[in-house]
Amino acid sequence: MKSPDQLSVPPDGRPYHDQPQWRNDFPIDWPQDEFVARRDFTKFLVLTSFAFVVGQLWITVQNFFRKRKGALPIVRITRADAIPVGGSLVFAYPAAHDTCIVVRTGAQQYFAYDQKCTHLSCAVVPDLAHGRFHCPCHNGSFDLRTGIPTAGPPRRPLERILLEIRDGDLYAIGREVRA
Amino acid sequence: MKRTFSRQQKTTIVFGILSIAVMLVILQLWLLTATMNAYLAHQERVIIPAAIASILCFALNLGLLSYIYRMERR
């Protein structure tokens, strides 16, 4: 007996549940096509949902390995007086690809931060005349003395590099991440 | 006893399930961006609860999808 929902009949006359899978997945009837389209879109959403879970687990694993790294090394940057007052120097800390920048604002005043903007990781440049670090990509600004964002899209402060002067040499001794 | 649905009823049900799945996926997107932000700011205590919440959303989505296929076979 033909179902009241069934508008068309397959060429071999057999009911739909006896038909090959492709005939059910590519229906002729509009109502059935609507059902299959929504079902397949739901399937795609579930796949997207799975991708988000993979992303969450990736962050969890990365966090686990980051916690195991332990304390950062103490690295000599340069002679403290090699940077003139009002000058800056780019250095790498702790790894070779982690570029940081140190700015000297006074005789004994040094401020060092990770050079990556907290918005989309462009390199920030010091703008001493305005007392800020400027990110040219999206016009972000950070306070020179605190690293706190003052303008533009960044919402988190720059990572501060902890400094120490020993025997006239400037050392990086750690990183301070602030929320 | 398992109920059988007409095609129109099935389409309505699949629309309802689709709406719930969309909301869950949006919630997961928000969770992922918030967790990434927390991870970059070293706020580690939110990472595991957010991962559990995302897994629960996925499990719910998977359950809803399997319901669609079970309903289709009736």
B7-17 mean pLDDT: 88
Q: What is the pLDDT of residue A31?
A: 79
User: How far is the C-alpha of A102 from the C-alpha of A114, rounded, in Å?
Assistant: 9
- Name the pTM for this structure: 0.70
**Which chain B residues contact residue A39 at CB under 8 A?**
14, 68, 72
Q: Assign 3-state DSSP to chain A and report helix, strand, coil percentages, each to 5.
A: 30, 30, 40
Same domain, A95 and A56: no
Domain count, chain B: 1
Q: Last residue of some domain: A44, A68, A92?
A: A68
Q: What is the pLDDT of residue A54?
A: 98
Q: What is the pLDDT of residue B2?
A: 67
Query: pLDDT 10s per residue in chain A (179 long)?
Result: 455 566 777 888 887 778 888 887 888 777 788 888 999 999 999 999 999 999 999 999 999 998 888 788 899 999 999 999 999 999 999 888 999 999 999 888 999 999 999 999 999 999 999 999 999 999 999 999 999 999 999 988 999 999 999 999 999 999 887 76
Count of A–B CB contacts within 8 Å? 97
**Which chain A residues contact residue B10 at CB under 8 A?**
35
Q: Last residue of some domain: A28, A46, A68?
A: A68
User: Which structural domain, as residue segments, surrounds residue A25?
Assistant: 16-68
B21-31 mean pLDDT: 97
**Which chain B residues contact residue A59 at CB under 8 A?**
32, 35-36, 39, 47, 51
Same domain, A22 and A81: no
A1 domain residue, yes or no:
no
Q: Assign 3-state DSSP to chain B and report helix, strand, coil percentages, each to 5.
A: 85, 0, 15
Domain count, chain A: 2
Q: Report the CATH number that the domain containing residue A169 is assigned in CATH.
A: 2.102.10.10
Structure tokens at A80: 């403290």
β-pair partners for B43: none
Strand order in the sheet with A125-127: A125-127, A132-135, A140-143, A149-151
CB contact (8 A) between residue B54 and residue A56: yes
Q: Chain A closest CA to B10's CA: distance in Å?
A: 7
CB contact (8 A) between residue B6 and residue A4: yes
Same domain, A44 and A112: no
User: How far is the C-alpha of B3 from the C-alpha of A170, rounded, in Å?
Assistant: 77
Same domain, A120 and A82: yes
When pLDDT is cut at 50, 70 and 90, the band that residue B1 belongs to is: low
Burial of A14: CB neighbours in 10 Å, binned 0-12, 13-18, 19+: exposed
Instruction: Tell me the three state secondary structure of residue A38.
Output: helix
